[in-house]
Chains A and B, each alone.
Chain A
């Protein structure tokens, strides 16, 4: 275990005992509890300043792992250190060294102006007034929320609110930032702006980021390295460049055309799905650039609309499994 690591995880495992909640019937008839393993022994290490994506399908064990790393869940086995602390033993001390953002959960007071929430958080972390004011100014300008500060959270759009949530998570300038689905529910442009802000902040302050997401876009834009987890096991730990080359090499180009069923006989382009006037092509980036595919399509068909998408995470994971099987056989 390296002392210099920001996050160090060694064979971490967690299983839950599941029992029905108390009702009149369960008072008299105890049902045996069943053990459900959520995380089955995973190990990894993250250097300070690294930006790492933690990805996997629903129920893979991402959130459980993240909760153990923040200290709000005690593992059944294994060890971990975050910023030099064992999270579940030193939760309060750790709290000053990490910032946390749960995308679906607010840490701002709903009916208060954003500024009041941020000031209250500054009090919780014991920042003195001068420090807090300077920090607030800096976050406000980097996250472009200066003109939102006087407004109650209730009046903000989701994208605006999430930028304020990031400010809340970063008020105490933590060296480590843990993000759980930070862009969930955002539209495309809000996602892009949130990602840019995150990258800018972490580069300027050397913040270590560990984020979970369903969105392959979050991972590609923000992270340098990816941990893929499924069914509680670490499936893959790779630099993003490798992951991109091996498993993110497809784009989905969807064309809405006057033609009922257009076809493109280009190398690395295959039809992924087809309906009348709407065709999706899987484009292999190793063989052809998306720009060329689009240019060719515009040239040959009368295109009413088009969309370029990242492959869904499930496809990436299926692809990883396929790769693993291929290597075994």
Chain B
């Protein structure tokens, strides 16, 4: 167990060193990404200037939601940016390097790349929570924990979507789009949707656990909701490992995949 944690720590450290190999550029991207997020929030500020409430939600709630996504997403891509290339790595035969190591290949695959701008997203979360979102310092531990759990749900569901290439090698581009759809929906409050859409947001596109449910848990001080986010992180994480392993078995048993990349 300690050895595994040490291994994960080493992966993260190496990944960050690579991401910040050019510290000036990385720092600039980080700052600009934070600015970028805050500018976009102005749209919401303008909305609430005109309409005080969106089905019971105010500006502070949307700010909190935006912060939860920014933090979860930001830390995820900063530490595990490799998830973005997972499908491509699989079809390009890049798995073999990772398979040759005496560890489960998924962590090293996910942590093979760092997107430092993610820390800019994460930094903007604190502005959104504490300044616009009217949260206190005491709320921070729970917000950070639930955002990270939401980040795990995001990473896991993206990884599952990317694993589709084990069975259907032509779906590389679709996996990219799954990622974009997920992030795109997550930054909007979801309680405005009806039952059908919400069912999707709790299952196939588990966006609810990345933004809506964490915010409701903090807002309503609802322990059950908080636990459900952590549970979702565990379930989706486990599911990702199972799907990946199944895919791996297929990869190992079959011949090299032949992909028509035209």
Contacts and interface: CB of A to CB of B under 8 A. Distances in A.
Interface string B23-55: 111011001000000000000000000000000
A23 to B, nearest CB: 3
A26 B24 CA distance: 8
B256 interface: no
Nearest to A26: B24
A25 interface: yes
A32 B27 CA distance: 23
A23 B31 CA distance: 12
B36 to A, nearest CB: 16
Nearest to B28: A24
B164 to A, nearest CB: 26
Contacts of B24: 23-26
B22 interface: yes
A140 to B, nearest CB: 25
A24 B23 CA distance: 9
Contacts of A24: 24-25, 27-28, 31
Interface in A181-220: none
Interface string A8-46: 000000000000000111100000000000000000000
A26 B31 CA distance: 15
Nearest to A152: B262
Contacts of A23: 22, 24-25, 27-28
Contacts of B25: 23-24
A25 B20 CA distance: 14
A23 B29 CA distance: 10
| Most central of B23, B24, B25, B28 by chain A CB within 10 Å | B24
A286 B215 CA distance: 88
Interface in B10-27: 22-25, 27
A24 B26 CA distance: 9
B34 to A, nearest CB: 13
Contacts of A26: 24
Contacts of B27: 23-24
Contacts of A25: 23-24
A317 to B, nearest CB: 36
7 tightest Cβ-Cβ pairs between the two chains A and B:
A23-B24, A25-B24, A24-B28, A24-B24, A24-B27, A23-B25, A23-B28
Given A24-B28, A25-B24, 11 more contacts: A23-B22, A23-B24, A23-B25, A23-B27, A23-B28, A24-B24, A24-B25, A24-B27, A24-B31, A25-B23, A26-B24
13 contacts: A23-B22, A23-B24, A23-B25, A23-B27, A23-B28, A24-B24, A24-B25, A24-B27, A24-B28, A24-B31, A25-B23, A25-B24, A26-B24
Interface of B: 22-25, 27-28, 31
